[in-house]
Amino acid sequence: MKKSEVTLDKIVALCKRKGFVFPAADIYGGINGIYDFGHLGSLMKENLKNLWKQSIQNEHGEIYFLDGSLIGPHAMWQASGHIENFHDPMIDCLNCKKRFRVDDDNIDTNKPCPSCGKTSWTDIRDFNLMFQTQLGALQDEASKAYLRPETAQTIFVQFKNVLSTNRAKLPFGIAQIGKAFRNEITPKQFLFRMREFEQMELEWFCKEKDSMKFFDFWVQTRKSFYQNIGLNMDKIRLYEHPKDSLSHYSKCTFDIEYEFPFGFKELEGVAHRTNFDLTQHTKHSGKDLAVYDQETNTSEIPTVIESSVGVERLFLTTLFDAYCEDKMDGDTRILLKLSPKVAPIKAAVFPLTKKLTEPAQKLYQDLKKEIPHIDLDEKGSIGKRYRRQDEIGTPVCITVDFQTLEDQTVTLRNRDTGKQHRINIDQVKNYIQDLLK
């Protein structure tokens, strides 16, 4: 099967048509850079998050989970460096009044505005990406707070509590999946750059002498994750940040990049954050965040290796990677070749005719008891039902027909190939569970 060219427009249309993703506040015209996820989108996101949780378990140390607050005080973001450093360069066109990030690929201040064609730019200035809010009724400096632009800082400020309550020993990790907010100058490319999104972040705490060993370990471990969820590894590459462009906290950083239709872009970052964050919070809070080592009778502020990936960006990547168009039975069909572990619906049960609805419903209910997210589809021709399931990535369809009443077998149909074979109805559950391993 030849894979057709996938475009952003095709992915956006599919998501809206099948209910994966909707614009937030859609009936009021939507909100730029913010999206709601429908039934299929929610299921698929949950699959990705669960697979991520499994992927960070390892033989070197324990992983502890945190669900941190979304709002942090000004002092916290002052200590982390976000107040001073969390900016993007911004420029306005004086003619059409549109605003752009200077580092966008299509912005060149020596050339005309890509929107109106005039060359009339403001000076470049920094724009802080954090959403500011006020706590309580009084609006003064003491009440100033921010929606978190990343989940990492809540991990760092709770480091000592997690350490003591779990009797943790280095090395260990603290992981978190949660919302983050960035007031992007120009949200674009659908789910790629958003103002409200979810992050999956792991902060791995270790001794400084072991840090490069663990940095290499996590770069390779995170790359393996993408192979495990079925991405085309020919479209994955590692990009090492040059020393002169590293973040203020980083000793070295690798991006795991994916080749989108709009070029290679960051999918996940793995950063050696040194002990910058814990040192800063120790300094600003006055709380000692060092770890005491009984064996050496010394204390050390741990070094941190961070991996961070956006849930929605990963969601978008899997759709780009899975989208296919081919010819079947003389017609063009759209299908998502998602890994069964990622697919929102694991299997669909069809009665061949309405007369077979009762045995089909019985099989459906039996499967639902142990395999979540099975679909029962009774409407339309079998061909149309197959196409509907292909388009949302359902790996296998199960048809209950008249032969089922005679010998207790059903027809299984493979999404990718369209090939069918019969199987005893008692073996269907194990067949699907094997697909999900």
- For every one of its 437 residues, what pLDDT tens digit does the chain have, with 9 covering 90 and above? 445 689 999 999 999 999 999 999 999 999 999 999 999 999 999 999 999 999 999 999 999 999 999 999 999 999 998 988 888 888 989 999 888 888 776 788 888 998 899 999 998 888 888 999 999 887 777 789 999 999 999 999 999 999 999 999 999 999 999 999 999 888 878 999 999 999 999 999 999 999 999 999 999 999 999 999 999 999 999 999 999 888 878 899 999 999 999 899 999 999 999 999 999 999 999 999 999 988 888 999 999 999 999 999 999 999 999 999 998 888 889 999 999 999 999 999 999 999 999 999 999 999 999 998 999 999 999 999 999 999 999 999 999 999 999 999 999 999 999 999 999 999 999 999 999 98
Same structural domain for residues 422 and 294?
no
Query: What's the structural domain count of the chain?
Result: 2
Contacts of range 366-372, beta carbons closer than 8 Å, 24 or more positions apart: 366/429, 367/428, 367/429, 367/432, 370/429, 370/433, 371/346, 371/347, 371/429, 371/432, 371/433, 371/436, 372/346
- Contact partners, residue 359, CB within 8 Å, separation at least 6: 351, 400, 404, 405
Same structural domain for residues 217 and 165?
yes
User: Which domain does 153 fall in, by range?
Assistant: 8-86+129-316
Same structural domain for residues 166 and 241?
yes
Asked whether residue 96 is domain-assigned, the answer is: no
Same structural domain for residues 156 and 48?
yes
The three-class DSSP label of residue 212 is helix
Asked whether residue 321 is domain-assigned, the answer is: no
Asked whether residue 115 is domain-assigned, the answer is: no
Same structural domain for residues 381 and 278?
no
User: Which CATH number do you get for residue 365?
Assistant: 3.40.50.800
Same structural domain for residues 177 and 279?
yes
Exposure on the CB side of residue 292, measured as CA atoms within 13 A? 5
Is the previous residue joined to 171 through a cis bond, with omega within 30 degrees of 0?
Answer: yes
Q: In this structure, are residues 48 and 314 in contact, taking their beta carbons and an 8 Å threshold?
A: yes
- Characterize the bridge pairing of strands 71-73 and 144-147: antiparallel
Task: Return the DSSP state at 141.
Answer: G
Residue type, 206: C
Asked whether residue 104 is domain-assigned, the answer is: no
Pairwise CA distance, residues 313 & 293, whole Å? 39
Pairwise CA distance, residues 43 & 39, whole Å? 6
Same structural domain for residues 258 and 353?
no
Same structural domain for residues 141 and 211?
yes
Asked whether residue 262 is domain-assigned, the answer is: yes
Domain end call among 316, 331, 358: 316
